[in-house]
Structure 1
């Protein structure tokens, strides 16, 4: 029975999927399957069973899980005890939206990697709702989020800077010629949105619902660069952080609409679980972020 096999087992239980576990741990799916088969062979029992598409622990699997968590924690504690505390090392899992990664964090990540080459940075792009789940399962150490505020009782949010949000369209779009764009003007428009779950997208959708304004079409695209190209081609309107579209606005490829509706602004936060133990690697990362990116702002 090996620690890595037990950690694979724990991760499957938390994520509920062999394929997601393989992706998260950086293994092939066959490696994940082999780890479980070896455990089952050694213990002479089945650890999982399937009901349709649902993966469930057997009774013996539930018994092993309690031991596996204790063993994994003891192994991590022992490693931390004997690490060289003067030099940050080990892995850090960090979640971040694509916009923050590309436009704000590249230089910080490069500097951190140069300062602490023994730390393995694992970055996961996504949205705040996904990060919250992983932080609560202790499968992510830190996350950057674009939120108006962080009010979760079990999460700590370090406010970094205010992030303006703009509504953009092609200069050829009919709304680009208007001196003011109000909620009613969005009736029947096509929107090009990021993945559902982004804070500023949900804010606009709430505004539209309250005003009983309906979009003609919603195009949901995960890649910001693709969204910008769609809007430049006059396929719809988008709302994005200003930093993402600043160059295109200055170049005349996009127009910032003169939005007169409710404020869509948001803030950038560095978030972690209140009970998370901070290794020296995590502390060093937080310190560098605060030194390079923290601005003196007050949340509303």
Structure 2
């Protein structure tokens, strides 16, 4: 059912004449006939009785007209409101994991709210394993993930920022003064890690096992902030992105260990479903994200 068909029906119901309805809509009479036939076929009822050039509404037509009146009235009011305010409207749902919720996304959310106050912005934090599924299920419009740079079937996305990771300890930790480390240096140590399924945790554990690391103790957290605070208290070795610890490193509260974590490139990435209609609000958020991090952004698809 198309809006133009509703407008045609409304005009025909007002004029009760195919020729006058065609003239009012700037159509030829045959176009009015085709649109009415398509509308009646879709509804499965006759809306008008044809008597030459004149028409009369059926009972179904009179009932339908009341709803069409409301639809067109609401549309006119909506168009007037938008033209009067120039304000974008709609609802937008954004999701990201705990780390990005804390250290990357707030800057974009703040700018978006200031620029587009008419858009209802909903933010739903999710664990990393559930983020991409939320796009596929339609419960999120845009997600941000901290992951290896790779394509994802069915999703469109791009890199927002490259991210650097560190192994970190408190200044008094026995490894804090080391200028070089081997796998054996980690034997018996406690590692403060994110939850199972986190991409950079899995990469780190793979890299250690490949180098035949001995036994370690793992403490698992669902918050980067909790890991950071425990590391500052000397409870173990943390693996965290630079964005989460830059201030603490600058103040000397955490010491980066000389351990290479650059074998895989990690980045903050933005994704949306490739088959989803890109509404004005979604398009505006994507572009504002690019603008916010414009000094670092690649072209889409890189």
CA drift at 1:263:
2.8
Q: Deviations over 1:201-258 (max 9, x none)?
A: 1110111222232443211111222111110111111111101111111111110001
CA distance in 2, matches of 1:146, 1:131: 11
Q: Deviations over 1:10-54 (max 9, x none)?
A: xxxxxxxxxxxxxxxxxxxxxxxxxxxxxxxxxxxxxxxxxxxxx
Q: Does the 8 Å contact 2:128/2:197 carry over to 1?
A: yes
Give the match for residue 219 of structure 2: 219
TM-score (norm 2): 0.67
Give the match for residue 118 of structure 2: 118
CA distance in 2, matches of 1:105, 1:284: 15
CA distance in 1, matches of 2:256, 2:266: 17
Q: Does the 8 Å contact 2:128/2:145 carry over to 1?
A: yes
Q: Deviations over 1:77-110 (max 9, x none)?
A: x9xx956576432221111122223222222211
CA distance in 2, matches of 1:214, 1:120: 51
Give the match for residue 273 of structure 2: 273
Equivalenced residue count is 221
Give the match for residue 127 of structure 2: 127
Where in structure 2 are there 5+ consecutive unaligned residues?
Answer: 1-70
- Measured on the aligned residues, the alpha-carbon RMSD in Å equals 2.4
Larger Rg: 2
Q: Is 1:238 aligned to residue 238 of structure 2?
A: yes
Give the match for residue 291 of structure 2: 291
CA distance in 2, matches of 1:132, 1:121: 19
Q: Secondary structure at the match of 1:177?
A: coil
Where in structure 1 are there 5+ consecutive unaligned residues?
Answer: 1-77
Give the match for residue 248 of structure 1: 248
Give the match for residue 8 of structure 2: none
TM-score (norm 1): 0.67
CA distance in 2, matches of 1:229, 1:275: 42
CA distance in 1, matches of 2:225, 2:298: 29
Q: Would the alpha carbon gap of residues 215 and 125 (structure 1) be closer, same or farther in structure 2, given more than 3 Å must change?
A: farther
